[in-house]
Amino acid sequence: MAPQLATDNDLNQILKETFTTEFRKGYITVNGVCLPERFNKFSQAIEDFEVRDDDVWVCSFPKTGTTWTQEMIWCVANDFDFEGAKVLLPERFPFLEHSVLFDYTTIMPRHPEVKLHRLVSDSVNYVSSRISPRFIKTHLPFHLLPRQLRTGKRKPRIVYVARNPKDTCVSYYHHCRLMEGYRGDFNTFCRLFLGEKLCFTPFWDHILQFWNRREDSNILFLKYEDLKSDLSTVIQKSATFLNKTMSNDQVKALLEHLSFNNMKSNPAVNYEDAVETNKKLKLIDVDGDFIRSGKVNQWQGEMPESIIERFDELTREKLATRNFFF
Ligand code: A3P
């Protein structure tokens, strides 16, 4: 059966009912991209953000292996400083638009016992004030990145990571329930994903913007599926991109450090503190782990046939015609 077509108004209503919370009161569309309405408060600061040539950016659509890529890039760029890697990743490699996604201003006065990191109140300002070399994570699509980056006035290194759309959607669903207060079911979530009503959608255009720039010397384009199938080759590629040399022992140690089980139990990267804080603040009551299953093709058996067809159709139409395959 063909998926039921939902109008924009239907989806907006569903979004409001299933995915607004005290920390995210609504959504807007900015140049074709769905974002929390709080983007308005930070849009100018992001547009005018002073980029530095020695920054290292990890850009991605959510749930495509961003954290895994960040940890790999940080460790290679910092000469395998596993001691330094014990500092929380959001501190070493902050998320530019964190404050756009989560607004704690009305919540915190009720919880004087909970102390949030400075990053939370104004992540754009926090990132801009870091000393060089800065490591910056963002989920913004290319056309919403800071002006200096779009125009090429500054040319920091940019690592983009992409993942199979169906696995991304499954992972995003679990993430939104665990971390962002989504209350609907999986099928509804898929409809929102396809209808471009989830933060940072549309997914396919996000990938294409970076795929089309993959030959630029300051861009490294990676795939989650390649990290899964041959992480040492990806580490080697990343080291070349970052102008770093490394010994076999260092690669071995990094492979161990980045293994799924290690990442899952590493408090510096597994966001257990963020899950805990949100529970304390009574913003979520779902159990689970941020680093969840780490599997390829997990959509099989989870996605209804009609939704799979629509995903495949869009992937063929948007990506395969540009020689991009998962
Ligand atoms: P799943 O939800 O499918 O398990 P992001 O960092 O962009 O939010 O992506 C999170 C996804 O990357 C999650 O996918 C998570 O489990 C997976 N991931 C993180 N570290 C991983 C690792 N070391 N090996 C495999 N997958 C990993």
Q: What is the CATH number of the domain that holds 188?
A: 3.40.50.300
In a domain, 304, yes or no: yes
In a domain, 3, yes or no: no
Retrieve residue 273's tokens: 């503190």
Nearest CA to ligand 1 atom 20: 68
Q: Which helix (H) or strand (E) holds 10?
A: helix 8-19
Given the structure tokens 């040319």, which residue do they identify?
155
Over residues 41-63, mean pLDDT:
98
pLDDT in tens, 147-164: 999 999 999 999 999 999
Distance 91 CA to ligand 1 centre (A): 19
pLDDT in tens, 56-74: 999 999 999 999 999 999 9
In a domain, 1, yes or no: no
pLDDT in the model for residue 210: 98
* CA 113, chain centre distance (Å): 29
Global confidence as pTM: 0.97
pLDDT in tens, 264-318: 999 999 999 999 988 888 888 888 999 999 999 999 999 999 999 999 999 999 9
In a domain, 177, yes or no: yes
315 and 204 Cβ atoms separated by less than 8 Å = yes
Handedness of CA 1, 311, 189, 171 (dihedral sign): positive
In a domain, 2, yes or no: no
Alpha-carbon gap, residue 316 to 67, rounded angstroms: 27
In a domain, 185, yes or no: yes
Distance 171 CA to ligand 1 centre (A): 8
3-class secondary structure, 4 = coil
CB atoms inside a 10 Å sphere around CB 323 = 7
Q: Which domain holds residue 219?
A: 8-322
The minimum-distance atom of ligand 1 relative to the CA of 61 is: 7
Domain tally, the chain: 1
